[in-house]
Amino acid sequence: MMKFGVFSEDLALVKQNGKYGYVDRTGKVVITIEYDYARHFSEGLSNVEQNGKFGFIDKTGKVVIPFEYDIAWSFSKSLAKVQQKGKHGFIDKTGKVVVPIEYDDIYGFKNGLALVKQNNKYGFVDKTGKVVIPIQYDFILGFSDGLAGVKQNGKWGFIDKSGNIVMPAIYDMVQSFENGNTLVIPNGETFYIDKTGKRLD
């Protein structure tokens, strides 16, 4: 019995006897049902698994990125997250590594930057793989209103997208900026501040 998934980019994922393949809108099998695991097509490519390794195929079934990854995620904005030997990075649609596969974890790109984790510290890289915010923080909230909350030595502060410290790490707790202000808790007191660190009453 064949199980059908939803259509994505005019092809539907199907499963039969524990293997995956793809059919077109007429129900015709267009990519052989031979893969151990597969995902829906995204940006013209699909991440599929064979013999314990992931690679990418195009809509004709041609392998365009070899089966060499332990895990591969779907393409988004021309980049795909991949994992090898427990480390993460990003590749482009040609299979070229654009963010080195050396991070303990890496999160999706937002506004051109991706949060990375290495040795329990966090920082940001750009789409060329360049580290733009040093990997030195205990935790980082995503950028919002141009600033990101960063935790260091148990306290929170804020940095801008260049990594400059806008507000030193003096707060016990912070939230992300929204409409130019945010809630902070220093020394058990709770109040709002603006983007210069000025208290708002």
Q: Give per-residue pLDDT as tens, 160-192.
A: 999 999 999 999 999 999 999 999 999 889 999
Say how far residue 2 (Cα) sits from the centre of its chain. 32
Q: Residue 42 pLDDT > 80, yes or no?
A: yes
- Which residues are paired to 177 by β-bridges? none
pLDDT at position 142, please?
Answer: 87
Q: Give per-residue pLDDT as tens, 44-86.
A: 999 999 999 999 999 999 999 999 999 999 999 999 999 999 9
Q: Give per-residue pLDDT as tens, 125-159.
A: 999 999 999 999 999 998 999 999 999 999 999 99
pLDDT at position 1, please?
Answer: 76
Structural domains in the chain, CATH included, are: 1-75 (2.40.10), 93-137 (no CATH), 140-201 (2.40.10)
**Predicted confidence band of residue 3 (pLDDT cuts 50, 70, 90):** confident
Distance in angstroms (rounded) separating the CA atoms of residues 159 and 150:
7
Residues 186 and 174: beta-carbon distance below 8 Å = no
SS3 30: strand
Q: Residue 2 pLDDT > 90, yes or no?
A: no
What integer is the mean pLDDT of 32-51? 97
Distance in angstroms (rounded) separating the CA atoms of residues 173 and 187:
10
What integer is the mean pLDDT of 27-54? 97
pLDDT at position 4, please?
Answer: 85
- Tokens representing 139? 């935790």
β-sheet with 105-110: strand ranges across: 105-110, 113-118, 121-126, 131-137
Distance in angstroms (rounded) separating the CA atoms of residues 15 and 40:
12
- The pTM for the full model equals 0.88
pLDDT at position 163, please?
Answer: 93
Q: Residue 90 pLDDT > 90, yes or no?
A: yes
- Tokens representing 145? 């209103």
